[in-house]
Amino acid sequence: MNVTLSDIEGTKVILRGREVGEVKDLVLATRTGRIIALAVKPLRKVDSLEFLPRDQRGNVLVPASVAVLREGTIVISEGKLKVLLARRNSGRSETGGGSCRWR
């Protein structure tokens, strides 16, 4: 099944069983066209998301590699997010392309 941006926009984002925000936009890599991040409008401060970059509107840029669409919601894998943040903190960086960098 394919999903469009209009299907995803406004979708609830869940972390640890709690709603943490809603999808406002997608970030695409200009060279490949791949989705690299979801721009999530946070509902509240969540420590796990505070270390992620934000866009010019204040939305948290959640890497697509840690998000899964399940039953009409986006679920963030806390385990994958921790690995990504640990890599960033150890000096290994992941580049999502464009202006979005995970360091």
Per-residue pLDDT of the chain (103 residues; tens, 9 = 90+): 788 888 899 999 999 999 999 999 999 999 999 999 999 999 988 888 888 999 999 999 999 999 999 988 999 999 898 888 888 777 655 444 444 444 3
- Helix (H) or strand (E) holding 68, with range, is strand 67-70
Closest to 10 (Cα-Cα) out of 38, 33, 45 = 38
> So what's the pLDDT on residue 102?
40
> So what's the pLDDT on residue 50?
86
Pairing type for strands 60-63 and 94-95 reads unpaired
CA angle at 56 for the pair 52 and 59, rounded to the nearest 5°: 45
Q: Where are the domains of the chain?
A: 5-92
Q: May I ask the CATH architecture of the domain 5-92?
A: Roll (2.30)
> So what's the pLDDT on residue 82?
87
> So what's the pLDDT on residue 92?
55
> So what's the pLDDT on residue 2?
81
